[in-house]
Structures are given as C-alpha cells and as structure tokens.
Amino acid sequence: MADLNIDDFYRDCAVIMLRLYSSFPRKAILYVDDICGPDTPDEFGLHSERHQAAFSAMVWLAEVGYINFTETVREEALDQAVLSQRGFLMLSSRSEIELGIADETDDSLPPSVMEHSLTNVMQIRRALKEGSSIFIQQVIHALLSS
C-alpha cells in the first residue's frame, strides 16, 4: 500500500522550494493554498488534513534549515519566507542526480543556459513537469539526503 502522505510531502517540498527560488532573495508570504490548492475548513474552522500536511511541510523545511521565515499567519501562510543559504546553494548547485528523466539540454544553447539546465532546481522542475510521484520522490529525497 502506497503512503500517499509521503508522496504529498515530497511534492509539497518541491513546490515550496521552487516558489521560494523564483522570488529569491526577496522575502515573500508563502500561502498553503498555493502549495496544495484551496481548502475548505469544516464547520469548526479546522483545515483539512491535506492543508495541515502542506503547512507542516513548510514548517519542517524551516526546522531542518532549508528555508527561513519570521512568523506563521495562523495555519495559512509563512510570512517573510525565503530560502536559507543551505536551501539556495542546494537548488542552484549542479545536480548529481541521475534518474532517467528526459534530458532537455541542447548542445546549441549558450554555456550559461546549458549550465543552468543541469542544476538541482531544473531537476525539480523536470520531475514536476513529468508528473511522476516516483521521480518527484527520488529528486527531493536525493536533495534532502545530501
């Protein structure tokens, strides 16, 4: 039986890191709804398990040193979120991951573009584009393990 919560965790981590990479070095408010989609709280105002899991993934990434933030906005967002030095260097480094995801590099491209296509952030983008939970898991697991 698949552990769907772990698949969701890896996907959430990928989306969180890409969102913060795209705004780096600016601090931004990171909404849970942008990570896992809109949520409809129950009659008591409690968020769904899926929403809570995505929020927890955001907080966990901060606890282990990949992102920083100043405060939580209830269980709906992280305020002033930004990649930490560790997170930025991990994403912008040349990837050592070999997963069999279709290589989108083109020898006719300028060297700077070629080099960027070989980074960890591009591996995450390829895995999300591919849509395979296996590829997403492999990429994020490898990055969090290093």
DSSP 8-state symbol, 37: -
Q: Which of the pair, 37 or 62, is modelled with greater confidence?
A: 62
Question: Which range of residues forms the domain containing residue 32?
Answer: 4-145
What the block records as the tokens of 136 is 């997403």
Dump pLDDT digits (tens) for 39-57.
887 778 788 889 999 999 9
Beta bridge partners of 145: none
Q: What is Dmax (Cα atoms) for the chain?
A: 58
Q: How many domains does the chain have?
A: 1
Percent of the chain with pLDDT over 70: 86
16-25, 33-42, 99-108, 114-123: least confidently modelled range: 99-108
Burial zone of 26 (CB within 10 Å; 0-12 exposed, 13-18 middle, 19+ buried): exposed
Q: C-alpha distances in angstroms, 142 versus 36, 58, 112?
A: 22, 18, 24
